[in-house]
């Protein structure tokens, strides 16, 4: 079968595609020639960022459709794919950037913390991959955002890293199961990134530690992973990098290893 791994003319669905890393990916894939981008957002507070992203996607020449949903139920994820397909046509590329973070000592973690974070980081991720496997076009591409903490020996991030960890296995299994339709499935694991998601959990000292922890820290604006440096990796994985499947790729300037 002839490979078709371009972004040109493709329809893209991006969960959490309104702002920060997801917003940059929405803009980038539009600029790379995607035909249409379905941009998902969750909270009302994100609506204006979603509208800004929609304008940028449109200015780059792609059709755009905004979708609002809390994705912590399987039904909501299924509806997201159905609504996106109805709005922009068959989906070729599905990217899930949704996530939440809780940083606290293991002894202080409550059952509510556990249920909340696993609902987004593990449950949404599983059903997103499942629905993508069922509803994406042949030769489709699926990417999930995880974290470089998966390979860190550190405290305080037990339920954040722990709730992202299952995605590695979902990704491997999905690459096996969807491979016969030519679908490539990967996970991308950035280091601590320059977004409010990171700063919300950190003290001045812990932020400073992370700003100096990567081998390449002093060559970025803040020392953290710049989300702009994650975008080309995602772009590659959903196009010419299709041969990489079932893998979790760390991109962190030399912050953690395996």
Ligand X SMILES: NC(=O)c1ccc[n+]([C@@H]2O[C@H](COP(=O)([O-])OP(=O)(O)OC[C@H]3O[C@@H](n4cnc5c(N)ncnc54)[C@H](OP(=O)(O)O)[C@@H]3O)[C@@H](O)[C@H]2O)c1
Confirm or reject binding of residue 42 to ligand X (CB under 6 A). yes
Site string for ligand X, 105-144 (x = CB under 6 A): ---------------x------------------------
List the one residue from 26, 130, 195, 239 that touches ligand X (CB under 6 A). Answer: 195
3-state secondary structure of 12: strand
Among 74, 100, 122, 152, binds ligand X (CB under 6 A): 100
- C-alpha dist (Å) from residue 242 to 2, 142, 161, 175: 13, 10, 26, 11
Q: What is the nearest approach in angstroms of ligand X to the Cβ of residue 110? A: 18
What is the C-alpha separation between 58 and 182, in angstroms, rounded?
29
Cα separation of 77 and 16, whole Å? 12
Exposure string over 99-121, b if 16+ CB within 10 A, otherwise e: bbbbbbeeeeeeeeeeebbbbbb
For ligand X, the closer of residues 11 and 147 by Cβ is 147
Choosing from 182, 190, 223, 241, the residue that interacts with ligand X (CB under 6 A) is: 190
Nearer to ligand X, 20 or 248 (CB): 20
Q: Does the footprint of ligand X cover residue 98 (CB under 6 A)?
A: yes
Q: HSE of 197 in the Cβ direction (CA atoms, 13 Å)? A: 22
100 φ, ψ (degrees, to nearest 5):
-140, 155
The contact pattern for ligand X, residues 60-89, with x = CB under 6 A and - = no contact, is ----------xxx-----------------
Q: Which of 95, 34, 42 is nearest to 66 (CA)?
A: 42
Nearer to ligand X, 5 or 211 (CB): 211
Options 10, 99, 171, 187; binder of ligand X; rule CB under 6 A:
99
Q: With respect to ligand X, which residue has the nearer C-beta, 96 or 184?
A: 96
Strands 36-41 and 184-190: unpaired
Run of H or E residues at 95: strand 93-96
145 is a site residue for ligand X (CB under 6 A): yes
At closest approach, how far in Å is the CB of 159 from ligand X?
Answer: 12
* Closest CB to ligand X among residues 182, 194: 194
């Amino acid at each position: 079968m002839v490979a078709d791994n371009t972004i040109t003319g493709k329809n893209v669905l991006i969960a959490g595609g309104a702002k920060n890393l997801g917003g940059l990916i929405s803009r980038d894939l539009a600029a790379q020639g995607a035909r249409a981008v379905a941009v998902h957002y969750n909270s009302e507070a994100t609506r204006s960022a979603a509208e800004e992203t929609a304008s940028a996607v449109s200015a780059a020449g792609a059709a755009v459709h905004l979708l609002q949903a809390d994705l912590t139920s399987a039904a909501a994820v299924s509806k997201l794919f159905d609504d996106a397909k109805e709005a922009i046509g068959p989906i070729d590329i599905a990217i899930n950037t949704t996530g939440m973070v809780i940083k606290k000592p293991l002894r202080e973690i409550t059952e509510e913390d556990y249920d909340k974070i696993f609902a987004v980081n593990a449950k949404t991720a599983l059903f997103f991959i499942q629905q993508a496997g069922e509803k994406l076009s042949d030769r489709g591409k699926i990417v999930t955002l995880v974290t470089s903490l998966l390979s860190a020996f550190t405290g305080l991030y037990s339920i954040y890293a722990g709730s992202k960890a299952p995605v590695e296995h979902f990704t491997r299994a999905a690459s096996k199961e969807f491979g016969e339709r030519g679908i490539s499935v990967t996970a991308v694991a950035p280091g601590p990134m320059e977004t409010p998601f990171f700063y919300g959990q950190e003290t001045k000292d812990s932020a400073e530690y992370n700003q100096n922890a990567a081998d390449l820290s002093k060559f970025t604006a803040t020392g953290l992973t710049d989300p702009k440096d994650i975008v080309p990796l995602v772009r590659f994985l959903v196009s010419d990098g299709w041969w990489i499947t079932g893998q979790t790729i760390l991109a962190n300037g030399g912050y953690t290893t395996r």
